[in-house]
Copies of this chain bind each other. A is one copy, B any other.
Amino acid sequence: MPKEMFFEDFYVGQKMNSVGSAKVTAEEIKEFGQKYDPQPFHLDEAAGEGSFFKGLAASGWLTAAIVMRLRVQSVPVFGGMIGAGVEEMRWTQPVRPGDAIRTEIEVVGVRHSNSRPDYGVVRTRTLAYNQRNEVVLRSTVNFLAPLRHSVQK
């Protein structure tokens, strides 16, 4: 994998796995819940027990944020990965305290940008797994990567 990737470095079928995994703690679940998703099952073990989730569970948006960090670590786009939209995202299993999340990314499309001639659009399918190899999140997300010749180095 190049140290810094340009649009031309991506191809359909390319796979990029996260380096290691991200451990999720009860503290992080509650802190994120208090800030961004203050619902009982994201805030408190006892309240979680009586809920849909039957226990404390991470906000799906915390899971998505952790997946973003793993993506940033495993796909070093030159100048940074510019989000170009989510086509689909599903939360398929609750994320619990103690879970360790890893990601597998596959490039499923590459095309030049119509509106930004110096960039290409990379379409990616991401699967996030817990330590039992259960899929906890799947998504199809697009990002922009600069064309190599467009960048003055």
Instruction: Known contacts A35-B65, A65-B35, A65-B65; decide if A60 and B83 are in contact (CB<8 Å).
Output: yes
- Among A38, A41, A64, A91, the one with the most B-chain Cβ atoms within 10 Å of its Cβ is A64
Q: Is A80 engaged at the interface, CB distance under 8 Å to the other chain?
A: yes
Q: Is A82 engaged at the interface, CB distance under 8 Å to the other chain?
A: yes
Instruction: Known contacts A64-B64, A79-B52; decide if A69 and B36 are in contact (CB<8 Å).
Output: yes
Q: Does more than half of chain A's interface fall in helix, strand or loop, or is it mixed?
A: mixed
* Cross-chain pairs A/B with CB under 8 angstroms, 28 sampled: A35-B65, A35-B69, A36-B65, A36-B68, A36-B69, A37-B68, A37-B69, A37-B72, A38-B72, A39-B72, A39-B80, A39-B81, A51-B79, A52-B80, A52-B82, A52-B144, A59-B65, A59-B68, A60-B83, A61-B64, A61-B68, A64-B64, A83-B91, A85-B88, A85-B90, A86-B88, A86-B90, A87-B88
- Selected from B69, B82, B90, the residue in CB contact (under 8 A) with A38 is B69
Q: Is A40 engaged at the interface, CB distance under 8 Å to the other chain?
A: yes
**What number of copies of this chain does the assembly contain?**
2
Which residue of chain B lies nearest to A64 when distances are taken between CB atoms in the complex? B61
